[in-house]
Amino acid sequence: MQTIDIVGYISRIAFQSGLELTMRQGDILVVVGPNNAGKSRSLQNISSSLRSREVGVVVKEADFVRVTPVDTVAAWMDPFRATNGLVSLGNSAFPFHMLKTYWGDSQAQLGDFFHGRSVSELTTRARLADCDPVPNYERRDPFSAHHPFQHFHHDDQLELKASKLFRRAFKQDLVIHPGNSQNIPAYVGKRPKPEHGEDRRSATYLDRIEALDRLEDQGDGMRSFASILGRVLAERRPVIVIDEPEAFLHPPQARLLAEIIGSEAADRQILLATHSSDVLQGLLAKHAERISVVRLTRTRNGGGAVLLAQKKLQDLWKDPILRFSNVMDGLFHDAVIVTEADADCRFYESLAAASTKPEMIPDIHYTYSSGKDRLAVVVTALRALKVPVVTVADFDLLNDERTLSRIVEAHGGVWAKLELDWKEVKAAVEKTANFVGADQFKTEMARLTKTIKPGGAVDKATLSKIKVLARNASPWDHVKQSGLASLPNGPATLAAKTLLDRLKAIGIFVAPVGEMEGFCRTVGGHGPRWVAEVTKKDLAADPELAAARAFSSEIVAHIRKRLN
């Protein structure tokens, strides 16, 4: 089996937003962004620019460097040139005198013939149709085999390689009918082994293969996976364009497919548009040095495109909290809200959904940092990925200068501009807040420990009282329960409100009631238990939650303003 093994690559992509991306052979471009940002359209625009220099809505133009010398291509074509100068290869024809026009200049159009031999386009619709039985091929015609199943039919080892990878995803073999019938169908199931006296084309062996399930009758996920797998393994076109490779697949299969794409097409360029962090993680796991990410955005004034460079992606990928959390999902949304804990995420997300008109809510991803110390890490990562981000935290975030200043700087703020207000609030809290002093703490602790019987376990009631005492021994733990209300009227409250407003301006929202549980004190419990109970209420109308709704509205308004 032979074909013209054309070598080339996309060297430049110019987006309508002004972004210009340079690429090398073997690079992987991942296009991400929220819904309707133009991800699929960008791939279509790139392909159309290569074919005919058509200017697209998202992408203005793309250049293609021809690596294979034009004389080499001419030598390949010459045996198939008719007396009229027309070159017939497989199902297509090409006028030989136009060779230098289409294969001589990186800024010239490829035309249909060379585009078809340089770019493999795998749309979701094409992938599903790709698994229908394909016609047999003429072995004496080196260009008659154009489908992966035809190549698998010819090359047993290539088929077995595809089957092994397919089995990793679906626990079944991918089997190509080895006979010489008019069509070549594909099957899934346990591959039969030839028995004594049989070979791969024995009638009895073919009967056992034909008893397997036909691939074209399987689900969309299996067919889509098989199509991409086949194109990646069997084709040699230097550019592979895949729209939504994760379509119809479960997350582990999407991640596996991304790993396969990167590994098996190491010498080719891959352009893909995806909604899936699993696809992105599958590529980053082994091919981070090859990947660039372009994030498309949508604004009132049109779309935008920002480049997330390879080095930045590699640095971010080294952080375990980013590798093993859902933080990267923020790439596929308009904006991200980061909280300290998962329960906070669930409350603020439920509140926004219930109290804001759907058309007024941007596409927001909610995630958490597992503590205040990690907030700055997550915010820094998201801002590096060019994702608008808001932090929502409890009032005691104001306690520690190092933690707060890092978060302020992660949001692009200048700590020196906030430091004086913060010092005034901190001094006020630690001077005037009501809390248990050292002497009282020692007395109360001694009283509680006397009730503990020696040799046994400490009862829950006593443990609970000790926890409450410890919490009240810190002025910040006390303030966390009430927020602004715990401060005295006058300068202290004024300074705190000024500080909170300045933090809001850069995207840091501190709960004015201390913590989320302070928005509804008639519900007991803390964290997940409190959220489970409070979300049973009418979040959109319950009078006690009016302050919570106002706080949520401020957050949404801030995000909408950022996006516009």
- 218-237 confidence digits (pLDDT tens): 999 999 999 999 999 998 89
Cα 414 to chain centroid distance, Å, stands at 30
pLDDT for the residue 443: 77
* Strand bridging mode 239-243 / 508-510: unpaired
User: CA torsion sign, 13 to 14 to 15 to 21?
Assistant: positive
Q: What is the pLDDT of residues 74-109, one digit of tens each?
A: 998 888 899 999 988 767 788 999 999 999 887 889
Mean pLDDT for all residues in the chain: 90
Which secondary structure element, helix H or strand E, spans residue 321, and what is its range? helix 320-323
Q: Are 429 and 503 in contact (CB under 8 A)?
A: no
Is 90 exceeded by the pLDDT of residue 191? yes
Please give the structure tokens belonging to residue 311: 């080095």
Q: Are 363 and 35 in contact (CB under 8 A)?
A: yes
Return the closest-CA partner of residue 381 out of 298, 323, 341, 334. Answer: 323
Q: What is the pLDDT of residues 279-320, one digit of tens each?
A: 999 999 888 889 999 999 987 666 799 998 777 777 777 777
Q: Are 184 and 135 in contact (CB under 8 A)?
A: yes
pLDDT for the residue 2: 43
pLDDT for the residue 436: 58
Is 80 exceeded by the pLDDT of residue 190? yes
**Higher pLDDT, residue 429 or 332:** 332
pLDDT for the residue 358: 87
End-to-end CA distance of the chain: 55
pLDDT for the residue 471: 61
Four-CA torsion 317, 322, 325, 331, nearest 10 degrees: -90
pLDDT for the residue 402: 96
What is the spatial distance between Cα 85 and Cα 325, in angstroms, rounded to a whole number?
A: 60
**Higher pLDDT, residue 268 or 145:** 268
The band of 1, judged by pLDDT with boundaries at 50, 70 and 90, is: very low
pLDDT for the residue 447: 82
What is the spatial distance between Cα 244 and Cα 261, in angstroms, rounded to a whole number?
A: 13
CB atoms within 10 A of CB 486: 21
Is 80 exceeded by the pLDDT of residue 558? yes
User: CA torsion sign, 519 to 525 to 526 to 531?
Assistant: negative
What is the spatial distance between Cα 492 and Cα 488, in angstroms, rounded to a whole number?
A: 6
Q: What is the mean pLDDT of residues 391-408?
A: 96
Is 80 exceeded by the pLDDT of residue 437? no
Return the closest-CA partner of residue 244 out of 262, 260, 257. Answer: 257
Q: What is the pLDDT of residues 157-175, one digit of tens each?
A: 999 999 999 999 999 999 9
**Helix intervals (H) in 124-250:** 124-129, 148-154, 156-170, 203-210, 220-234
160 CB-side CA count, 13 A: 5
**Helix intervals (H) in 211-309:** 220-234, 251-264, 277-287
Contact partners, residue 67, CB within 8 Å, separation at least 6: 7, 8, 9, 25, 238
Q: What is the pTM of this model?
A: 0.85
- Strands of the 389-393 sheet, one edge to the other: 364-368, 335-339, 389-393, 508-510
Return the closest-CA partner of residue 409 out of 497, 341, 506, 510. Answer: 506
